[in-house]
A and B are shown apart, each in its own frame.
Chain A
Amino acid sequence: MSLSNLLSIQDLDSKIIWQILHTADEFKNPNGGKPKKVAALNGKTVINLFFEDSTRTRISFETAAKNLGADLINFSAKGSSVSKGESLKDTAQTLKAIGGDIVVMRHWASGAAARLANANWIDASIVNAGDGTHEHPTQALLDVYTIWKHFGDDFSKLKIGIVGDILHSRVARSNLLLLSKLGAQIYLIAPRTLLPMGFDKDHSTLPGVSVSYSLDAVLPELDVIMELRIQQERMEGGFFPSATEFSNLYGLRKERLSKLKENAIILHPGPMNRGLEIDATSADSEKSKVLEQVQNGVLVRMAVLFLIGTKS
């Protein structure tokens, strides 16, 4: 299997997942500091096409492309009022005329990356950098890379808790699929209102996945706790009564920190709402790998762009 697009974790088999992780590791600077710089994508053009706000994902892909020697075009489609299908097609044709080799796309609509890859509007390879509430595959890959560097090859021993707004989270969806493929035991920890269809306390539609409505009940068993961002703008949506209540029940706070296993790690895809899903003590604790995640993001995105950009 060779990688020609990265649209969904669902398309990846375990061989290619490990190939991405090992390739990412090869880009790590042996002396610490910035990743290696290579010329593998000299003469290739990577286009960052962002229909939705992003800081770290865009900058991460930008750094990754530059480290590989690719030319980079940042295309911000913010403010476009054209209806979705038309605008995407028009944009794709513009990009085709410019001549991009890899398009990294973030879009507010679920399925937009797959649409762009399969509609024959463009010859470039497509990397999904987040599509609606569907998937964010490179985020899951960088989370798994971070977990792998801490715990080693055997994911089947690991209990991983994903906490918070799972319903709307593309990060959670991609992580769920990826960790499940690697054989980890996953707890979805959230109020019933923030769980996707098919998941409740007594029932789960994916192997290795169980559901808990209580964080405190499973906290001492977890090797990895992944807090998701609560989107403040959804507070009025009736998913939970108040921010304080959510934080009391599901937030990672000082008093919960001491109940975690000695070698457990804390992940957060960022940006963090300090005081809501995670407090300052937890976010800045030794267990927190949030900044490592950002560094690893560049390595993993280099691996993805490398494998796609050099396909024969």
Chain B
Amino acid sequence: MNTELGVDLLSRDDISRAIRRICHEIVESNQGLENCVVLGIPTRGALLAQRIGNTLAEIESNSKTPIPVGTLDITIYRDDLQFRSQKEVTPTTIPASGIDGKTVILVDDVLYSGRTVRAALDALRSHGRPQKVQLAVLIDRGHRELPIRADYVGKNLPSAANEVVKVSLAELDGNDGVKIFRRVEDLNKVEVSK
């Protein structure tokens, strides 16, 4: 996408503090981690899910079994495929213990229209029937098109529809950070209208 003028919103430390807080909230609201499974939505949600899994293991270090972490690809369940050029799938990996009767904590980087999460709920159905599904996101930027909300939010970030929120994670992008961009074509329009 043609963008410029990135503004830093979250630093590396902000992200790590947000993840830590989300993890404490997960433990608190589920009264422990028994019966919980963390599933990340590719690409960056899957990386965040790994980090959340690691942090949860630290917090609940006295629990006998580590919390299962997996990846849930939702591409084939999207309802907006015709409008997206990106249709690469990432292999889905569901922990061997499965999701039947479990509390599934879905993880994504940015919550926006809610369509990804809707597709994720469909995707879960082919793998079993969780007792409960919760949603953790690093950024909630608003503009929902469906009645979906997150249970755990790293940062609420009111944004304009013509802005782009980009989460970078060290595993993939070299460093951690969250930036907001405005589309260049919109900037050009602003200049013309001056």
Interface residues, chain A, CB within 8 Å of chain B? 2, 19, 22-23, 25-27, 29-31, 36, 38-40, 306-307, 310-312
The reply to whether B127 and A23 form a contact with Cβ atoms under 8 Å apart is no
B145 at the interface (CB under 8 A from A): no
Contact call A26/B91, Cβ cutoff below 8 A: yes
- Contact between A27 and B76 (Cβ–Cβ < 8 Å)? yes
Binding site for A on B (CB under 8 A): 73, 75-79, 81-85, 87-89, 91-92, 94, 122, 126-128
Beyond A22-B89, A307-B87, A312-B85, whether A29 also contacts B76 by CB under 8 A is no
| CB-contact partner of A30 in B78, B83, B89, B94, under 8 A | B94
Pairwise interchain contact A26-B76, C-beta atoms closer than 8 A: yes
Alpha-carbon separation in the docked complex, A311 to B82 (Å): 6
| Contacting residue for B89 out of A23, A38, A311, A312, CB 8 A | A23
**Do A310 and B126 touch across chains, with their CB atoms under 8 A apart?**
no
Contact residue among A25, A39, A310 (Cβ-Cβ distance under 8 Å from B91): A25
Complexed CA–CA distance, A311 and B127 (Å): 26
Chain B residues with CB under 8 A of A307:
87
Q: List 11 A-B contacts (CB under 8 A).
A: A23-B89, A26-B75, A36-B76, A38-B76, A38-B122, A39-B77, A40-B77, A40-B78, A40-B81, A307-B87, A312-B83
Q: Are B79 and A39 in contact (CB under 8 A)?
A: yes
Q: Contacts A36-B76, A38-B76, A38-B122 given: A26-B89 contact, CB under 8 Å?
A: yes
**Nearest CB of A to B190, in Å:** 28
Rounded to whole Å, the gap between the CB of B160 and the closest CB of chain A is 24
Nearest CB in chain B: distance from A246 CB, A: 42
Q: Which chain A positions have C-beta within 8 A of B85?
A: 2, 312
